[in-house]
């Protein structure tokens, strides 16, 4: 008598399975393709949707569609938790793969590179960005170092308004240089305290500071 080992039922020959190039999200006319990013319904409906990248799509003989996905993690799902410099739309591309029913796909989204995200005129609900890869088992990030700004030496959070010093070109949080956000928005020019000390020294030595360029206050917007 043939015996089946427990746990082996999932490794049946792939009879009647078919790779799919595209899948239409149930109840919509939105088409998902391999490589697209999607929002997937969490089992706990109080949670925000999961975000994943579709790696492969497959239909069985009864037309049940399964998708192989690579998960994006939200900062709060990472081992280190959400940090101050993490933006509201920040995601980490994880090394965590899964197979899910295509029925859990509820929409499409776009995960931008950090640079492209900061250039967006408007951030829509479907816009996210990723600047780190994340190892789910260890909590390690790649790259493990990023540029830091301001006196507080923090990586850039695109949700926060910063002002650029015309001297050193570094960016500052208004609060870190003793300003309110409203005051920062009214500024035509900004020179940090270190650079204005340098200016005094320079003018005492008979040098004129270089002509100031146009407004450097950049408001980074955020919509959820
Ligand atoms: Zn700061
Ligand atoms: Zn400066």
- Statement: residue 7 has pLDDT above 80: no
Q: What are phi and psi of 200, to 5 degrees?
A: -60, -45
- Statement: residue 221 has pLDDT above 50: no
Residue 138 confidence class, pLDDT cut points 50, 70, 90: very high
Residue 197 confidence class, pLDDT cut points 50, 70, 90: confident
Q: Say which residue the tokens 């088409």 belong to.
A: 31
Q: Which two tokens stand for residue 11?
A: 């490794």
- Statement: residue 179 has pLDDT above 80: yes
User: CB within 8 A of 125, min separation 6: which ones?
Assistant: 223, 224
Residue 14 confidence class, pLDDT cut points 50, 70, 90: low
Q: CB–CB of 52/34 below 8 Å?
A: no
Which ligand places an atom closest to the C-alpha of 170? Answer: 2
Fold classified for 15-142: SH3 type barrels. (2.30.30)
Q: CB–CB of 109/128 below 8 Å?
A: yes
User: CB within 8 A of 27, min separation 6: which ones?
Assistant: none
Residue 200 confidence class, pLDDT cut points 50, 70, 90: low
Question: Which part of the chain is CATH 2.30.30.490?
Answer: 15-142
Question: Which part of the chain is CATH 3.30.40.10?
Answer: 148-218
Residue 143, preceding peptide bond in cis (omega within 30° of 0) = yes
148-218 in CATH: which number? 3.30.40.10
CA dihedral 22, 24, 30, 34 (to 10 degrees): -30
Ligand 1 centroid to Cα of residue 154, in Å, is 7
Ligand 2 centroid to Cα of residue 166, in Å, is 6
- Percentage, residues of the chain above pLDDT 70: 81
**Lowest-confidence segment of 44-48, 112-116, 154-158, 170-174 by average pLDDT:** 44-48
Residue-wise burial string across 63-86, b where 16 or more C-beta atoms lie within 10 A, e elsewhere: eebbbbbebbbbbebbeeeeeebb
Residue 50 confidence class, pLDDT cut points 50, 70, 90: very high
Which ligand places an atom closest to the C-alpha of 193? Answer: 2
| pLDDT value for 204 | 55
Residue 136 confidence class, pLDDT cut points 50, 70, 90: very high
| pLDDT value for 205 | 52
Ligand 1 centroid to Cα of residue 10, in Å, is 52
As a whole number of angstroms, the distance between CA 180 and CA 174 comes to 6
């Amino acid at each position: 008598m043939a015996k089946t080992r427990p746990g082996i039922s999932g490794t049946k020959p792939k009879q009647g399975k078919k790779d799919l190039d595209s899948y239409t999200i149930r109840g919509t006319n939105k088409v998902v393709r391999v490589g697209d990013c999607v929002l997937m319904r969490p089992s706990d409906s109080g949670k925000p949707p999961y975000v994943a990248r579709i790696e492969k799509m497959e239909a069985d003989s009864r037309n049940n569609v399964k998708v192989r996905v690579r998960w994006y993690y939200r900062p709060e799902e990472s081992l280190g938790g959400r940090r101050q410099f993490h933006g509201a739309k920040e995601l980490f591309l994880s090394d965590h793969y899964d197979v899910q029913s295509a029925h859990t796909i509820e929409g499409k989204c776009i995960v931008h590179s950090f640079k492209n995200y900061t250039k967006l005129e408007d951030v829509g609900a479907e816009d996210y960005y990723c600047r780190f890869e994340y190892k789910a088992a260890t909590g390690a990030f790649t790259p493990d170092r990023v540029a830091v700004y301001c006196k507080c030496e923090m990586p850039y959070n695109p949700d926060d308004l910063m002002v650029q010093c015309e001297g050193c070109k570094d960016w500052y949080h208004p609060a870190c240089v003793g300003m309110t956000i409203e005051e920062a928005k009214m500024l035509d020019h900004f020179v940090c305290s270190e650079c204005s000390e340098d200016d005094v020294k320079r003018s005492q030595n008979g040098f004129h500071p270089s002509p100031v360029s146009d407004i450097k206050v950049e408001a980074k917007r955020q919509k959820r």
